[in-house]
Structure 1
Amino acid sequence: MKIMLAPMEGVVDHLMRDMLTRVGGFDLCVTEFIRVVDQKLPKRTFIRLCPELENDAKTPSGVPVRVQLLGQHPEWLAENALTAIEMGSPGVDLNFGCPAKTVNKSKGGAVLLKETQTLFDIVKAVRDAVPDTLPVTAKIRLGYDDKSLAVENAHAIAQAGASHLVVHARTKKEGYRPPAYWDYIAKIKQHIDIPVIANGEIWNASDALNCMQQSACSDLMLGRGALAMPNLAQTIKQGHAPMPWEEVADLLISYSGYEIYGDKGRYYPNRIKQWCGYLRRQYPQADVLFSQIKRLNDAKSIVTVLASQSSHADIA
Structure 2
Amino acid sequence: MPLALAPMEGFVDDLLRDVLTRVGGIDWCVSEFIRVNDRRLPASVFRRYAPELAHGARTPAGTPMRVQLLGSDPGCLADNAALACTLGAPVIDLNFGCPAKTVNRSRGGAVLLKEPELMGRIVGAVRAAVPAAIPVTAKMRLGYENADAALDCARALVDGGVAQIVVHARTKVDGYRPPAHWEWVARVRECVPAAIDVYANGEIWSVEDWQRCRAASGVEHFMLGRGLVARPDLARQIAEARAGRAPQPMAWSEVLALLQDFWRQLRRRAPPRFAAGRLKQWLVWLARSYPAADALWQRVRAEADCRALDTLLGVSLDRPERSASTAQRHALPPTPASALDAAA
Aligned-pair RMSD on alpha carbons? 1.6
Alignment deviations for residues 203-222 of structure 1 (CA, whole Å, 9 cap, x no partner): 01111111111111101101
Q: 1:123-272 maps to which residues of 2 (within 5 A)?
A: 123-193=123-193, 194-239=196-241, 240-258=247-265, 263=269, 267-272=274-279
One-letter code aligned to 2:207? A
SS of 1:25 mapped into structure 2: coil
One-letter code aligned to 2:269? D
Deviates more, 1:86-95 or 1:235-244: 235-244
Deviation of the 1:264 alpha carbon: 6.2
SS of 2:290 mapped into structure 1: coil
User: Does the 8 A contact of 2:287 with 2:297 survive in 1?
Assistant: no
Q: Does 1:9 align with 2:9?
A: yes
Alignment deviations for residues 131-169 of structure 1 (CA, whole Å, 9 cap, x no partner): 111110000000000000001100110111001000000
The residue number in structure 1 matching 2:309 is 302
One-letter code aligned to 1:45? V
One-letter code aligned to 2:160? A
Deviation of the 1:59 alpha carbon: 0.5
Deviation of the 1:265 alpha carbon: 7.9
One-letter code aligned to 2:299? Q
Which stretches in structure 1 are left out of the alignment for 5+ residues? 309-316
Q: 1:274-285 maps to which residues of 2 (within 5 A)?
A: 274-285=281-292
One-letter code aligned to 1:256? W
Task: Output the TM-score relative to the length of structure 1.
Answer: 0.94
Deviation of the 1:277 alpha carbon: 1.7
SS of 1:133 mapped into structure 2: coil
Deviation of the 1:248 alpha carbon: 1.5
One-letter code aligned to 1:108? G
User: Does the 8 A contact of 2:276 with 2:304 survive in 1?
Assistant: yes
The residue number in structure 2 matching 1:313 is none
CA distance in 1, matches of 2:220, 2:145: 28
CA distance in 2, matches of 1:264, 1:272: 11
One-letter code aligned to 1:21? T
CA distance in 2, matches of 1:52, 1:286: 29
User: Does the 8 A contact of 2:266 with 2:275 survive in 1?
Assistant: no
Which stretches in structure 2 are left out of the alignment for 5+ residues? 242-246, 316-344
In 2 relative to 1, CA 259–182 (structure 1 residues): closer, same or farther, beyond 3 Å?
Answer: closer
CA distance in 2, matches of 1:270, 1:211: 33
Match of 1:287 among 290, 294, 298: 294
CA distance in 1, matches of 2:22, 2:306: 22
Deviation of the 1:259 alpha carbon: 7.8
Deviation of the 1:228 alpha carbon: 0.4
CA distance in 2, matches of 1:263, 1:43: 21
The residue number in structure 2 matching 1:70 is 70
SS of 2:137 mapped into structure 1: strand
User: Does the 8 A contact of 1:249 with 1:307 survive in 2?
Assistant: no
CA distance in 2, matches of 1:259, 1:283: 22
Higher relative contact order (Cα pairs below 8 Å, separated by 6+ residues)? 2
Deviation of the 1:128 alpha carbon: 0.6
CA distance in 1, matches of 2:82, 2:305: 41
Residue-pair matches, total: 307
Alignment deviations for residues 101-137 of structure 1 (CA, whole Å, 9 cap, x no partner): 0000000000000001110110000011111111100
One-letter code aligned to 1:231? D
SS of 1:238 mapped into structure 2: helix
CA distance in 1, matches of 2:264, 2:307: 10
User: Does the 8 A contact of 1:229 with 1:242 survive in 2?
Assistant: no
Deviation of the 1:263 alpha carbon: 3.2
The residue number in structure 1 matching 2:320 is none
Task: Output the TM-score relative to the length of structure 2.
Answer: 0.86
Deviates more, 1:244-253 or 1:212-221: 244-253
SS of 2:110 mapped into structure 1: helix
CA distance in 2, matches of 1:147, 1:242: 36
CA distance in 2, matches of 1:71, 1:204: 33
User: Does the 8 A contact of 1:257 with 1:265 survive in 2?
Assistant: no
One-letter code aligned to 2:275? Y
* Percentage identity across paired residues of the two chains: 50
